[in-house]
Amino acid sequence: MTVLIDPPMWPAHDRLWSHLVSDQSYDELHAFATTLGIPRRLFDHDHYDIPQERYAEVVAAGATEVSGTMLIRRLIASGLRVRERDRHQS
3-state secondary structure 36-88: CCCCHHHECCCCEEEEHHHHHHHHHCCCEECCHHHHHHHHHHHCCCCCHHHHC
29: in domain: yes
Name the domain count of the chain.
Answer: 1
90: in domain: no
Q: With a cut of 80, say whether residue 87 has pLDDT above it.
A: no
pLDDT in tens, 30-65: 999 999 999 999 999 899 999 999 999 999 999 999
Q: Which domain holds residue 22?
A: 3-85
26: in domain: yes
pTM exceeding 0.85: yes
65: in domain: yes
Which residues are bridge partners to 3 per DSSP? 22
59: in domain: yes
68: in domain: yes
